[in-house]
Structure 1
Amino acid sequence: MKILLVYAHPEADSFNGALRDITVKTLTELGHEVKVSDLYAMQFDPVSSRRNFTTVKNPDFLKLQFEEMHATEHEGFAPDVASEIAKLKWADLMIWQFPLWWFSVPAILKGWVDRVFAMGSVYGYGHMYEDGMLRGKRALLSVTTGAGADAYKPDGSNGDINAVLRPIQRGMLEFVGFEVLRPQIYYSASKVDQTQRQAWLQEWATRLADLEAETPVGAGRY
């Protein structure tokens, strides 16, 4: 498989960083092709603006979707956006590795979606969800949380983790055509001991070895 790992954590030595490293090591050793977008290391600009483009459709009023369509037709994306779109088109599977911050992805990852999930290239009129332009590809979230598992039960203080992740899995990934695999979740990752972290890393490596055989679970509708 061709796999894109999008990594969003500012500390390379974090548990997220360890998960990134074991992901690359395991998948490479299994013979897969792996590309990594390490957003903080890349200093990826998460702010959408005219800097997204080298072309201009309407110089007087910025409507990003119209400019994205125009850039798609005229190879007019800025180099940092164009390279990430190319990775999306290349990959069979995309994995996002990130900490759950404020019930969502870190801002740099949301900004990556804002800029890279471009209309005309990644989705379009009549090309969403099951008919999305990235249909046939799969996506998987690997997530660490601050709170424990009990907090993310349906009756927990933070609510059902599946509902928390639905805006990401349904509203971002399935929207553009990805089939979603079961999320990999590490609860209270900063509070467990090294023995537990090592067990999690081994568990993740074992799952990675069988990813090709997994069946998408779907995010569920609102």
Structure 2
Amino acid sequence: MNVLIVYAHPEPRSLNGSLKNFAVRHLQAAGHAVQVSDLYAMGWKAQLDAADSLDGAAGARFDPSDDSRRAYQGGRQSPDIAREQDKLRWADAVILQFPLWWFSLPAILKGWVERVYAYGFAYGVGEHSDQRWGERYGEGTLAGKRAMLMVTTGGWASHYSERGINGPLDDLLFPIQHGILFYPGFDVLPPFVVHRTGRVDEARYGAICAELGGRLDQLWTTPPIPFRRQNGGDYAIPALTLKEAVAPGVTGFAAHRR
């Protein structure tokens, strides 16, 4: 199988860097092909702008969606964007690896998403009608592929528990897992999370690697998070709200899981 790791940490000698290297070795030893997009090492341009099209802005002002659509459809995207899209097409599984900084992705990884997820590639795909509202949330260009987050935090696991001060980790990761991964079609696996990164000694590092190796061995067998498919019958279209008979009384993120 083909695995793409999109890696976002500026220090190669960090715990993240070591775990990324372990993941590559483990996957290759198991016979998988691996590519790594090391965003800091690549000098990835994070900002979305008119330079993402070889032709610049189409009009007097830059229109992020329309200019993205025009560049993608015309084969006029910046080469770095096109290369990352080719990696996503190649991959059977994608791992986004990053430290949780200020409750979200590092800016460079968010910029990777904003630029690579072009109009016509990751959004703006499919029929929009009273029966379907595009191919998204379980459908789309990346359907049939698997994805997993590999996340580190400095805080304790209890800080991210159901009653923890930082909020439940599942809620913090929902915009990434549901919005960035499930939206264009990925089957999203439960995340691999390492807490208290400042307190990792040799023994704990060995245990973390053993656990990560097990998760990597199960990339193709682990049941995905049971998000509701947009066009699967649970949502009223075009309002895109859950039908009254679906998860009655449940609101918020939890309502969008079966």
In the superposition, the TM-score normalised over structure 1's length comes to 0.95
Aligned to 1:213: 221
Question: Aligned equivalents of 2:36 and 2:87: distance in 1?
Answer: 9
Equivalent of 1:174 in 155, 160, 182: 182
Aligned to 1:189: 197
Displacement, 1:57?
6.2
Question: Aligned equivalents of 1:26 and 1:174: distance in 2?
Answer: 26
Q: Which structure 1 residue ranges, 5 or more long, are not aligned?
A: none
- Between structures 1 and 2, the one with greater helix share: 1
Higher relative contact order (CA 8 A, sep 6+): 1
> Counterparts of 1:67-78 in structure 2 under 5 Å?
67-78=67-78
Aligned to 2:211: 203
Deviations 1:111-148 (A, max 9, x none): 00010011111221412112222111111001000100
Deviations 1:138-159 (A, max 9, x none): 1100100010000111101111
Deviations 1:169-198 (A, max 9, x none): 111111111110010000111223221112
What SS class does the counterpart of residue 6 from structure 2 fall into? strand
Q: Which residue identity lines up with residue 165 of structure 2 in the other structure?
A: S
**Is 1:123 the equivalent of 2:123?**
yes
Q: Which structure 2 residue ranges, 5 or more long, are not aligned?
A: 126-133, 228-253
Structure 1: 4+ residue segments shifted above 6 A: none
Displacement, 1:90?
1.1
> Counterparts of 1:3-152 in structure 2 under 5 Å?
3-56=3-56, 58-125=58-125, 126-152=134-160
Question: Aligned equivalents of 1:4 and 1:218: distance in 2?
Answer: 23
Moved more, 58-67 or 103-112: 58-67
* Matched-pair identity in %: 42
Residues 147 and 188, structure 2, Cα contact 8 Å, conserved in 1: yes
Q: Highest CA radius of gyration, 1 or 2?
A: 2
Question: Aligned equivalents of 2:138 and 2:84: distance in 1?
Answer: 22
Residues 145 and 186, structure 1, Cα contact 8 Å, conserved in 2: yes
Question: Aligned equivalents of 1:57 and 1:47: distance in 2?
Answer: 15
Residues 57 and 70, structure 1, Cα contact 8 Å, conserved in 2: no
